[in-house]
Each structure stands twice: as structure tokens, then as C-alpha cells.
Chain A
């Protein structure tokens, strides 16, 4: 979107300049006549601005560099093609190109709302347990048996602590 005279979707000169105010936020889209027609911009009931902004932000000019998700192998080109991500870790891998995109798409860029408390608590518990188990094997290896006994007690304490989910 660096050159306002170019269409956001293709490289033809933009002749349709759309400004829409959604919830006190100004969104601007520049399109050539063909794209404007194709996207139904001329018919106010039939197009979705957010969809358009998503596509416009996928323009390679707007986000240079080829990013890749290490976790699932998804690339920036894949995202451009599908408009969907490959896995949850993609949100870290593509963080750089994400923020400007989300800014145009949503009311804010930071989550405010429900948090999965039980799932997060379970995750913290898992992390704590694996750290303690590591400590235990370290202690045994280096023959610090008093430490090992204390760590072992701590592990059984953590395991017995009431947690919301049934043991799996």
C-alpha cells in the first residue's frame, strides 16, 4: 500500500478510492476499476471490507521477506494463497506481518476477553513438573540425595494438588 495510486489487489492504477469508517476507525482502500467491480464495492450491501483489507494486506509489497513457520512448514506464500494459517505457532512466525493486518481488521490488536484458565493452569503445572523432574535426575546424578528426596516430595505434592481436570 506504499503507492496510493496503485490498486491494492493488482498493480493497475487505482481509480476507486474507498474510505469507510467502522467503529471510529478509518479504513482506506484503493482499487482499480476492474477490482472494484469484481469485489462488489459499487454495491454497498454485497461486499465485506474486512475481507478486502485482508487480501490487500497480503500484497507482497506490504510485507516483504519470506517468512516460514518452523513448526508446520507453512510459508508466507501459502498464507497469501489460502488466507488461513497452518498451525497455532504460525502466529509467532508471522508476527511481523500480522500487526498492521490486524489493526485494519479488528477493533484492537490485543485480546481482551475470556481466558482458558483451566487449560493454562494445566500447562503451568506440566511445566513445573517437568522442571522438578529434571532437578531430581540432576540431583541423583550428582549424588545430592538430600536434594533428591526433597524434590521427590515436592513432585508428589504437586501431583496431589487438586486440579480441575481428571487425571489422564
Chain B
């Protein structure tokens, strides 16, 4: 498979949208793994990095879910291609900036990706649309066991899987959910939620991980610690935290409708108007407006069938995807113009909002 055909095919994120993905858009688990008796990528010399990449890539490409996958060295990818993979959550920003000897293997359906020589020798990732921690864990666990049959992992009975950074020690697992929480943002409750989630040993980040902003009211919630607890225990704790956040978001939606439905309808209606008529939209504004339309779908203002369009536009409004679709590189001001044109054409025939259909429990 080539990078061009991978980019051209729909990803799990945009293809599997349904009302099951209403609040949790995506579940993702990654495992950090290293080879025994080899220096970690950040400390390895170029020749060692190349050797490590050869060993890892051969084992990964032979694993069942990754047969006929994309298998490419990072330094063979163009800037725009790397940006698209980052926007699809298939590689990290760190990998996209890394030196010679780093590569990535991505499954055809774009649910499995393995980064080689990122911070660790292997960063295995599986993602699924919706709230599917258990299923995602089963898939990644099986892949990890398959790789272990031919790779000698660095492992200590005391510290578990040995990783370059001690913060990933133990299970080497980071499980996360990408959540759409517009009502908590509108009612200014996110700060409170972040603090409560931190106290439960979980971390809240923006859409693209550390340091990114939370435009579009999309957040990633993941486990902070990896040592001292089994994978199942971590996933169980994360599941109960996520369930309680979902409950808070649904309550916040109900309260917004009770307290001042007109104000909420106005926001959704204006977002629709801007989508149909504007000429300049930056990606942050686009995300925030798409978030309001998505909330409208959850509330029944727009038909559920339109959800996949919105989830696709969340990705297509990103700078990398936008430039790729327009076949060129454009400065931010030109991008805003192109983005608005794209959204206008998508919304030209988008069904009008109908506020009489609202379902007051917000659960659709």
C-alpha cells in the first residue's frame, strides 16, 4: 500500500460515525515496547537505529493485522503527508520530526499503526470509533502477543516493560478517549472537570495531545500512571471516569435547555448560518462551529444521518487535509479562504435546523 492510496481512503474516524459515537468519538490505546539489549532510540547511534528499525519492521509487517499495510520510512514522507498522518492520529508529532531510522507501519483500514524508533523502539497503537476500550484492548493485546513471539522485549519482573521514559514504565500502556464536551465548555465547567479527573489519576489534553488547545470542545482523557496496576485495572478505572464525564455532559446539556434554550438554539442556528455563508474561517473557528452543529445532531435539531459529514469535516478542516485536497501549499490566510469555500459547498445542501424536534433529555 502507498501513502497516496492510504490518504485517499477513508479512516476509522470519519467512516464509522453513528449515534454510538455521540460523546466519545474515538478510543485509542498505545503500548510502548523496547527490544532487550538495545539502546533506546534517543540514545542509539545511527547504525544502531537502522538495525533496530530493521528488526522491528520485519516483525511488525509479518503480523496478521498489518499484512499489506503501508510501511514507510519517516524521511521518505513529505511534510504535508506527515501532517495528514498526525491529523488522523496515526503518527505523533514527535515521530514526524524524527531523525533517520524512524518508520511507521499503518494497517489498510487505519485502525492499527506502529511507530518504530519514536521515543521507544515500538509504539503500538490501535484506535476505534466510539467508546470501545475493551475491544480496543483485545485487539492490541493480541497484536502485542504476536510480536512478542519473534521480538525479545525488554522486561523486568519488578518494573514491567522497560521504556525510555520512566513515566511509561510497567504496562507501557496509555489508553485514551477523545470526547466531545460542548455543554461542559459552554457552561464553564471544564476546569472543574479537569481538576476532578486529575485527582482520579487521569489526564485531560486537547485534541492533538500535549500542549494542543481544545478547539471544537474535543478533549482527550487518558491514564496518567502505568506502573503498579494491571492493564485491566487501569481500563476499569478509566471506564468509570469516562462514564461519569458522559453523565456530566448530558446533565449540562439538559440544564442548558432548561435554563435558556433560546440561547443554545441561537448558537446552533448561527453556526449553521456561518457555515453556509462565510468567506474566511480559520481552523479553530471551524472546529468550534462544527462542534455546535454536532451538538445540534445529538439534540435532534439535525438528522443523525448527517453526523458522519460533520466528523469528516472535523478532519478535512485541518490545515494538512485542506492543502492536500487543494493540491498545493497555501499560507494561513489563503487556507482560511479555501476552508470557508469547502464548508460553504458542504453546507449548501445541508438540511436546515428544526428546533421543534428537540429531545429534552439530550440523549437522542
Contact = CB atoms under 8 A, between A and B. Distances in A.
Contacts of B329: none
Interface in B172-226: 173, 190-191, 194-195, 198-201, 203-204, 224-226
Interface residues of B, number: 54
B150 interface: yes
30 contacts: A20-B198, A23-B200, A44-B194, A45-B191, A45-B204, A54-B166, A84-B40, A84-B165, A85-B164, A88-B38, A88-B156, A98-B166, A105-B167, A106-B170, A106-B227, A107-B228, A109-B158, A111-B159, A112-B229, A112-B230, A112-B233, A113-B173, A114-B144, A114-B161, A115-B155, A116-B148, A116-B161, A119-B151, A164-B149, A165-B150
B273 to A, nearest CB: 31
Tell me which of A48, A84, A165 has the highest count of chain B C-beta atoms within 10 A of its own C-beta: A84
Contacts of A88: 34, 36-38, 40, 154, 156, 162
Interface in B118-155: 119, 141, 144-145, 148-155
Interface in A120-154: 120, 122-123
Interface of A: 20-23, 44-45, 48-51, 54, 71-72, 74, 78, 82-89, 91, 98, 101-102, 105-120, 122-123, 164-166, 168
B43 interface: yes
B262 interface: no
Nearest to B146: A118
B90 to A, nearest CB: 23
Contact of A107 (B43, B164, B165, B225): B225
Nearest to B210: A48
User: Which 7 residue pairs spanning A and B have beta carbons closest together?
Assistant: A108-B228, A111-B160, A88-B154, A106-B227, A107-B228, A86-B43, A113-B230
B328 interface: no
A74 B226 CA distance: 24
Contacts of B227: 102, 105-111
Contacts, number: 150
B167 A50 contact: yes
B225 A106 contact: yes
Contacts of B148: 116-119
A116 B153 contact: yes
B190 A45 contact: yes
B315 to A, nearest CB: 25
Given A98-B166, A110-B158, 16 more contacts: A50-B167, A50-B224, A74-B43, A84-B42, A84-B43, A85-B166, A86-B39, A102-B159, A107-B225, A109-B158, A110-B227, A111-B171, A111-B228, A113-B171, A114-B171, A118-B145
